[in-house]
Amino acid sequence: MIDEFPGADARRAASMTSAPPPAPSRALLSGFPRRVHLLGAGGAGVSAIARVLVDHGHSVSGHDRSESEHTQRLREWGVALEIGPQQGARLPEDAQLVVRSAAVPGDDASVRSAQERGVPVLKYAEALARVAPKGRTLAIAGTHGKTTTSWMTYYALRGMADESAAAGHDGAALAPGAIIGGACRRLATNALTPGARGWFAVEACEYDRSFLQLSPQAAAITNIEADHLDYYGSLDAIKGAFVRFADRVAQSGVLVLGRDVPRGVENAARCTVWRVGRELKVRLVGERAGYFSFELEGPGFNTGPLELGAPGHFNVDNAACALGLAVAAAAQAHGLELETAARAAARSLARYEGAQRRFERWGEAGGVALIHDYAHHPTEVRVTLETARRVFPGRALHVLFQPHQHSRTAHFLEDFAQALRLGDHVVVADVYGARAHLGERSAGSPELVERLVNLGVKAQAGGDALASARCAALAARAPAALLVLGAGDIVRVQDALLAHLADRSAP
């Protein structure tokens, strides 16, 4: 079995960034030829599929327009990678299948070349459905919390697999796998290949109705809110997609729902349904500077108290969904009683410390703690700031926020302003993303700053990401916490911000 828990996490994290995966000992994946070419290979999803394909002995190559956090890892795994403009990309002569990310259009030159040659082309969501093992896939969906709940589910499965191995079962065969949109900070990866009988936790994204490609054995839906309105158009359309997703869960499986998921989604399920606050009862035990302890009681089990390693009250419900899903779906397959499975899952989940870009500590300089979070929806912004207030009591709270897409900013302009007013000082960077389409609602940093000022918030437009970082660093005075929020390239300002804060505090 994979030596992850306990004590090996640091060693495994180091190996993830510097060494290739072990030589493949598995058969080629069903549904994939030996030779696969990836377009948008450096993206979170497609790079994760590359990891699983390499582990199964496939020959993998790829192309991306630019380097990313994933491209170096791809090279270490033996993926032949080309970086450059899409127009100049060439499809390898021996490619037998092409997988493209959602960011690569259908009229891309390599896509057209594949079609002319008769080489099949799969979108990422279609490829993910082929990677996901039948009868052993747990899909985690929802507007917020997918990444965190998916990793919590993996950790819960890991704990159950370890408990089963300790009882004499085949640990390597039971090792769980995962494909998740954000990399786990402790494991330094966004993908792990399951053992021959291991369960598979997968983040199921609603954008482009991608999650409707999956047919999971069991699933969780954390919550449903208006989002991706540029694609769906209305909240009713979003709810309709989740209704269809609920119907895709195997009849013999289970669907775990967050507290506020609409009743219509539950009614669409053909399987057993457990809901947080009903079948899954949460009892809060305590809090320590934003880190919560609780115990979960479910049908036939109780986890006992556990303290979460990731901050935020919202993570209590995320953990409840993950524990309920893992125990309901996989305890019997691991040969464990529900109570034993639940306690093993809870012990393991408590070790989870968070994903990259989710309340991630970037360091501290000049008495200012620097935190980054992927938050790009008003609800995510609000709960991140509420968490920061608990984690950093008594400190001034500064925010550098990069809105994501003009249309999203326009749709949620008032909601963003209400969420950001929890900060003491806010710098709004230029919007990240393509121009708004003709006739589409559009708003940017000036409009958001205007709303904030009208609410009495100290706010300013900062310009591009680096210029905004300078503004934010100049405004933050110790003791303070500076939150960098957004899903775009604002992630690249970490070094610049730390340097600005250090320079400003130097004697």
Q: Are 465 and 493 in contact (CB under 8 A)?
A: yes
For residue 497, the surrounding DSSP H or E stretch is helix 494-505
The domain boundary, picked from 124, 143, 167, lies at: 124
pLDDT category of residue 506 using cuts at 50, 70 and 90: low
Comparing C-alpha atoms, which of 228, 257, 227 is closest to residue 243?
A: 257
pLDDT at 37: 96
Give the whole-angstrom CA distance, residue 142 versus residue 140: 7
12, two tokens: 């495994």
Give the whole-angstrom CA distance, residue 156 versus residue 350: 9
pLDDT category of residue 2 using cuts at 50, 70 and 90: very low
* Weakest-pLDDT range from 76-85, 300-309, 479-488: 76-85
Peptide bond into 479 cis (omega under 30): yes
Instruction: Give domain status of residue 107, yes or no.
Output: yes
Do 288 and 255 share a structural domain?
Answer: yes
Comparing C-alpha atoms, which of 380, 464, 364 is closest to residue 416?
A: 380
pLDDT at 84: 85
Question: Which residues form the domain of 62?
Answer: 27-124
pLDDT at 172: 87
Q: Between 216 and 17, name the one with better pLDDT.
A: 216
The domain boundary, picked from 93, 124, 155, lies at: 124
Do 409 and 278 share a structural domain?
Answer: no
pLDDT at 366: 86
CATH number of the domain to which 42 belongs = 3.40.50.720
The three-point CA angle 395-400-405 to 5° equals 150
Three-state DSSP at 394 gives coil
**What SS3 string covers 202-227?**
EECCCHHHHHHHCCCCEEEECCCCCC
pLDDT at 176: 96
CB-based contacts of 10, cutoff 8 Å, min separation 6: none
pLDDT at 405: 87
The domain boundary, picked from 349, 381, 416, lies at: 349
Do 368 and 260 share a structural domain?
Answer: no
Do 266 and 195 share a structural domain?
Answer: yes
**What SS3 string covers 23-36?**
CCCCCCCCCCCCEE
Instruction: Give domain status of residue 12, yes or no.
Output: no
CATH number of the domain to which 485 belongs = 3.90.190.20
Do 176 and 98 share a structural domain?
Answer: no
User: Over the stretch 27-64, which tens digit does the pLDDT of each residue have?
Assistant: 899 889 999 999 999 888 899 999 999 999 999 999 98
pLDDT category of residue 23 using cuts at 50, 70 and 90: very low
Contacts by 497-503, CB closer than 8 A, 24 or more apart: 497/362, 497/370, 497/400, 497/469, 497/472, 497/473, 498/362, 498/363, 498/365, 498/370, 500/469, 500/470, 500/473, 500/474, 501/365, 501/366, 501/368, 501/370, 501/473, 501/476, 502/365, 502/366
Give the whole-angstrom CA distance, residue 473 versus residue 315: 29
Instruction: Give domain status of residue 103, yes or no.
Output: yes
Do 474 and 369 share a structural domain?
Answer: yes
pLDDT category of residue 468 using cuts at 50, 70 and 90: very high
Peptide bond into 6 cis (omega under 30): yes
Instruction: Give domain status of residue 17, yes or no.
Output: no
Q: Are 223 and 260 in contact (CB under 8 A)?
A: yes
pLDDT at 88: 57
pLDDT at 469: 93
User: Over the stretch 166-182, which tens digit does the pLDDT of each residue have?
Assistant: 888 888 889 999 999 88
Give the chain's length. 507
pLDDT category of residue 505 using cuts at 50, 70 and 90: low
Q: Are 452 and 420 in contact (CB under 8 A)?
A: yes
pLDDT at 408: 86
Do 437 and 321 share a structural domain?
Answer: no
Do 147 and 45 share a structural domain?
Answer: no
pLDDT at 396: 95
Three-state DSSP at 459 gives strand
Instruction: Look over the chain and give the mean of its residue pLDDT values, rounded to a whole number.
Output: 88
Do 331 and 188 share a structural domain?
Answer: yes
Strand order in the sheet with 218-221: 189-192, 177-184, 200-203, 137-141, 218-221, 254-257, 272-275
Looking at residue 276, the DSSP 8-state letter turns out to be B
**What SS3 string covers 353-368?**
CCECCCCEEEEEECCE
Instruction: Give domain status of residue 5, yes or no.
Output: no
CATH number of the domain to which 314 belongs = 3.40.1190.10
Q: Between 489 and 58, name the one with better pLDDT.
A: 58
CB-based contacts of 219, cutoff 8 Å, min separation 6: 138, 139, 140, 141, 204, 245, 246, 248, 249, 253, 255, 256, 325
Give the whole-angstrom CA distance, residue 231 versus residue 506: 48
Tell me, rounded to whole angstroms, the distance of Cα 454 from its chain centroid.
34
| Residue 346 pLDDT greater than 50, yes or no | yes
Do 306 and 195 share a structural domain?
Answer: yes
pLDDT at 18: 36
User: Over the stretch 73-127, which tens digit does the pLDDT of each residue have?
Assistant: 899 888 999 888 766 578 899 999 999 988 888 888 899 999 999 999 999 999 9
pLDDT at 8: 35
Do 369 and 420 share a structural domain?
Answer: yes
Instruction: Give domain status of residue 190, yes or no.
Output: yes
For residue 282, the surrounding DSSP H or E stretch is strand 281-288
**What SS3 string covers 140-189?**
EECCCCHHHHHHHHHHHHHHHHHHHHHCCCCHHHHCCEEEEEEEECCCCE
User: Over the stretch 400-442, which tens digit does the pLDDT of each residue have?
Assistant: 999 998 888 998 999 999 999 999 999 999 999 854 444 467 8
Following CA atoms 203, 209, 210, 211 in sequence, which dihedral angle do they give, to the nearest 10 degrees? 40
What is the pTM assigned to this prediction?
0.86
Radius of gyration of the CA atoms of the chain, in A: 23
pLDDT category of residue 9 using cuts at 50, 70 and 90: very low
5, two tokens: 């828990």
Three-state DSSP at 48 gives helix
| Residue 335 pLDDT greater than 90, yes or no | no
* Weakest-pLDDT range from 3-12, 220-229, 324-333, 477-486: 3-12
Instruction: Give domain status of residue 378, yes or no.
Output: yes
* Weakest-pLDDT range from 135-144, 165-174, 308-317: 165-174
Domain count, the chain: 3
| Residue 17 pLDDT greater than 80, yes or no | no
Comparing C-alpha atoms, which of 406, 431, 311, 422 is closest to residue 360?
A: 311
Do 275 and 150 share a structural domain?
Answer: yes
Comparing C-alpha atoms, which of 197, 194, 134 is closest to residue 164?
A: 197
| Residue 256 pLDDT greater than 90, yes or no | yes
Task: Give Cα separations from 267 to 209, 246, 248, 415 (angstroms).
Answer: 20, 9, 13, 30
Instruction: Give domain status of residue 7, yes or no.
Output: no
Average pLDDT for 371-398: 92
| Residue 11 pLDDT greater than 50, yes or no | no
Give the whole-angstrom CA distance, residue 391 versus residue 501: 20
